Structure 1
Amino acid sequence: MHYDFVPLPHRKRLEWPGGKRLAVILTINFEYWDPVKDTDRVIYPGGPGIVGGTLTGRTYDNPNWTWREYGQRVGVWRMFDAFEAAGVPPSCTMNAKMALERRQVVDYAVEKGWEIVPHNYEQNELLTDYQDDEEAERAVIRETLRVYRETTGRDPKGWLSSSLRCTPATVDLIAEEGLIFTCDLLNDDQPYLVQTRSGTPIVSIPYTSEVNDFTVFMRQGKDADGGFAVFREQFDWLYREAATSARHLCIGLHPHVIGQPFRMRALTQFLDYARQFDDVWWTTRAEIAEWYLQHHAAHI
């Protein structure tokens, strides 16, 4: 994986279509965790658990598994209601097993026409497990994309690795599969090009671990007021900077975290706040990638 180091002051002005100032993407992560795995090692939990302690993969972890399932059964539907009431389309990411095991959630997003980004096969499975076995990593990616096509009826455009744990070869492999963007890199507020060994560039559309409900609520312990304050502060600062060159804002959301009743107000208040700005581009990652591929020469 290679990308040029071009610091922000050394770039030309970035412009979004229609003179929009700030591209905003609110991400709902559709994630599925196998209850058990045939291993004696501690399986990666996909974020902090609601109950502490670690169990081996073959041991069923009831409180942490059912806490996450709350997001699929209840929380995500609460979030859907909020986005529909605001008239704002989220960008969804999807584990392949989410489509296989929780099809109703995926079908809802498909019917609404919302963006859905492939998000690995299963949330506990990390591509870094295959860093020294490229063929195994390729097989996981291809199977994820096969399920994606079969269950959404769409051709995939981009990729987000489980827990952002890609390998140095991931961008090469997704380029070979015809994808045009990755969300795995956290190092910018604007898109940029990542070179691949095939010669076909991949657009990096940064995700975020900072403005993310796991970080804000689970690690920092914010309440609804605190969560809204973080979301608004991130928006306001980027919006101010975007007066000279356009910016991109992503907020990462998980249905079992922000979908809890006592946290939902942080999301609905932010939606109400951001909708007041006429020059915000409520867009998809695919739209950003396609625009950037056409216009990046004027930027970097």
Structure 2
Amino acid sequence: MHYDYVPLPARKPLIWPNGKRLAVILTINFEYWDKVQASDKPYYPGGPGIVGGNLPGNVYDNANYTWREYGQRVGVWRMFDVLDAEGVPASCTMNAKMALERPEVIRAALDRNLEIVAHNYVQDELLTDYMFDEAAEREVIRRTLEVYETSIGKPAKGWLSSSLRSTLNTIDILAEEGLLFVTDLLNDDQPYLVKTRSGKPMVSVSYTSEVNDFSFLRQGLTAETGLQMFKEGFDWLHAESQTSGRFMNIGLHPHVIGQPFRIRALRDFIRYAKQFDDVWFATREEIAAWYLDHHHEHIAPRNGGE
């Protein structure tokens, strides 16, 4: 894969459809974790744990496992209640084991017409484990996509790698497997095209590790200070979008934001953003499909590209 370095001032204004200025993407991560692994290597926790220290994979880590499971048993339903009450969509990432082990959550998301994005097979298996074995990486991706199609009823259009750990081959493989967009690249507030070896374009619609509910844990934020973080990012991007459209992604995890002492930050942010008529609560597929048709109006092709 290859993408051109095109700094913001070198781009034409990005004009979203229907007069919208700022696209807001609420990303809810549906992530299943196995209790134990057949390995004595340290178990990769994926984001901050509730109890510090890494146990070996073959040792059951009760605190960290059940803390994450709270999101599947309780937190995600609290989040669904907020989305229902506020009438906004979300972009949900799903690893394959989540579909197999927690289908009730996936059915509830589908009943609400929420977007589902493929998110690896199981959370602790990183694609970087296969940096030097492309065939093995492709097999993980294909297994994930097969479960996705079976559980969702249609092929996946987008991908987020576990812990954002992709390889230099990942986007090429995803394009060859028929996907439209990738969220692994953390480098922009606008979509852009990624060139692939097959010639099939991929649209980057960035995720974020900054405007993320993990910041509540890493930085000791409360519902009020977390809400302020969301609003601060929103206000600045909204001001910038007066001249060229932007998107704002918020990364959310049901075991984190779904806690009763944090959920208000999500609800109150949605209510704040809904006051602006030029804000578009979007899914990634909506953004990617639109951008594929309009990218030439935004970033001029370089080196004779399409």
Same-fold status (TM-score > 0.5): yes
The alpha-carbon deviation at position 282 of structure 1 amounts to 1.2
Q: Secondary structure at the match of 1:244?
A: coil
User: 1:27 is aligned with what amino acid?
Assistant: T
Q: Which residue of 2 aligns with 1:115?
A: 115
Q: Which residue of 1 aligns with 2:304?
A: none
Q: Which residue of 1 aligns with 2:18?
A: 18
Task: Within 5 Å, give how 1:99-110 maps onto structure 2.
Answer: 99-110=99-110
Q: Which residue of 1 aligns with 2:205?
A: 205
Separation of aligned partners in 2, 1:44 and 1:166: 15
TM-score scaled by length of structure 1: 0.99
Separation of aligned partners in 2, 1:200 and 1:236: 35
Separation of aligned partners in 1, 2:84 and 2:273: 15
Q: Which residue of 1 aligns with 2:2?
A: 2
Q: Which residue of 2 aligns with 1:173?
A: 173
Q: Secondary structure at the match of 1:227?
A: helix
Separation of aligned partners in 1, 2:136 and 2:176: 15
Q: Which residue of 2 aligns with 1:155?
A: 155
Q: Secondary structure at the match of 2:128?
A: helix
Separation of aligned partners in 2, 1:278 and 1:25: 16
User: 1:233 is aligned with what amino acid?
Assistant: E
Contact 2:44 2:54 in 1 (8 A): no
Q: What per-residue deviation string (whole Å, max 9, x for no partner) do you get for residues 165-221 of structure 1? A: 01110000000010010000000000011111001111000000000001x211011
User: 1:136 is aligned with what amino acid?
Assistant: A
Q: Secondary structure at the match of 2:250?
A: strand
Task: Within 5 Å, give how 1:6-85 maps onto structure 2.
Answer: 6-85=6-85
Q: Gapped runs of 5+ residues in structure 2?
A: 300-306
Separation of aligned partners in 2, 1:127 and 1:53: 23
Task: Within 5 Å, give how 1:212-291 maps onto structure 2.
Answer: 212-214=212-214, 216-291=215-290
Task: Within 5 Å, give how 1:186-205 maps onto structure 2.
Answer: 186-205=186-205
Q: Which residue of 2 aligns with 1:183?
A: 183
Q: Which residue of 1 aligns with 2:303?
A: none
Q: Which residue of 2 aligns with 1:296?
A: 295
Q: Which residue of 2 aligns with 1:142?
A: 142
Separation of aligned partners in 2, 1:34 and 1:46: 13
TM-score scaled by length of structure 2: 0.97
Separation of aligned partners in 1, 2:282 and 2:210: 21
Separation of aligned partners in 1, 2:31 and 2:89: 19
User: 1:261 is aligned with what amino acid?
Assistant: P
User: 2:68 is aligned with what amino acid?
Assistant: R
Separation of aligned partners in 1, 2:74 and 2:130: 34
User: 1:262 is aligned with what amino acid?
Assistant: F
Q: Secondary structure at the match of 1:167?
A: coil
User: 1:256 is aligned with what amino acid?
Assistant: H
Q: Gapped runs of 5+ residues in structure 1?
A: none
Task: Please identify runs of 4+ aligned residues in structure 1 that moved more than 4 A.
Answer: none
Separation of aligned partners in 1, 2:38 and 2:155: 32
User: 1:196 is aligned with what amino acid?
Assistant: T
Q: Secondary structure at the match of 1:23?
A: strand
Separation of aligned partners in 1, 2:251 and 2:204: 16
RMSD: 0.6
User: 1:252 is aligned with what amino acid?
Assistant: G
User: 1:37 is aligned with what amino acid?
Assistant: Q
Q: Secondary structure at the match of 2:24?
A: strand
Separation of aligned partners in 2, 1:294 and 1:85: 33
Separation of aligned partners in 2, 1:236 and 1:84: 24
1:97 and 2:97 matched: yes
The alpha-carbon deviation at position 43 of structure 1 amounts to 2.1
Q: Secondary structure at the match of 1:124?
A: coil
Q: What per-residue deviation string (whole Å, max 9, x for no partner) do you get for residues 65-111 of structure 1? A: 00000000000000000011000011100000000000000011111
